[in-house]
Amino acid sequence: MKRKDALEDVKRLQASSLGYVLIRCGQLFNELGMQAVNSEAGYPMMREVHARMLPYLENPDGVRITELARSLGVTKQAVQPVIAELAEFGAVRIEPDPDDARARRVLLTEKGIAAMRHGTTKLVEIDRRVAKRLGADETRELHGLLTRLLEVLKAQD
């Protein structure tokens, strides 16, 4: 099969895949959200790696660095510089794990929680722009379906 034909075949397969469409929508939402945050800040403070990591830090008890690395599918050594960046910014703090003296936990700080809240408000602004194009009813329906899908996917864990 020629390269052009093979790529067209991939595009057809992608168009038929719910997962692919969701991933692309998520990527685009993420890019638009980061652009909004960075534009407002006046410099690139938010990076893809931060956006990818933050949902794993929402546990009030924090998360072990090794668990965080495992969840992200990277090594502990790959996670540590990003954690150090977030700690330097004041978004997280690193504490000894009370259950294992050799381990350390990463916890969101008040500043980190405020940053997540701020970033989420940027996503809500994008939601509103999308709703103007899709319509309020379709947007509500889409949100409901995606919320249910998220519950189904989380239950797979």
pLDDT in tens, 125-143: 999 999 999 999 999 999 9
Q: Residue 157 has what pLDDT?
A: 65
Spell out a b/e string for 105-132, using b for 16 or more CB atoms within 10 Å of the CB, else e: bbebeeebeebbeebeebeeeeeeebbe
pLDDT in tens, 101-117: 899 999 999 999 999 99
Weakest-pLDDT range from 47-61, 122-136, 139-153: 47-61
Q: Residue 110 has what pLDDT?
A: 95
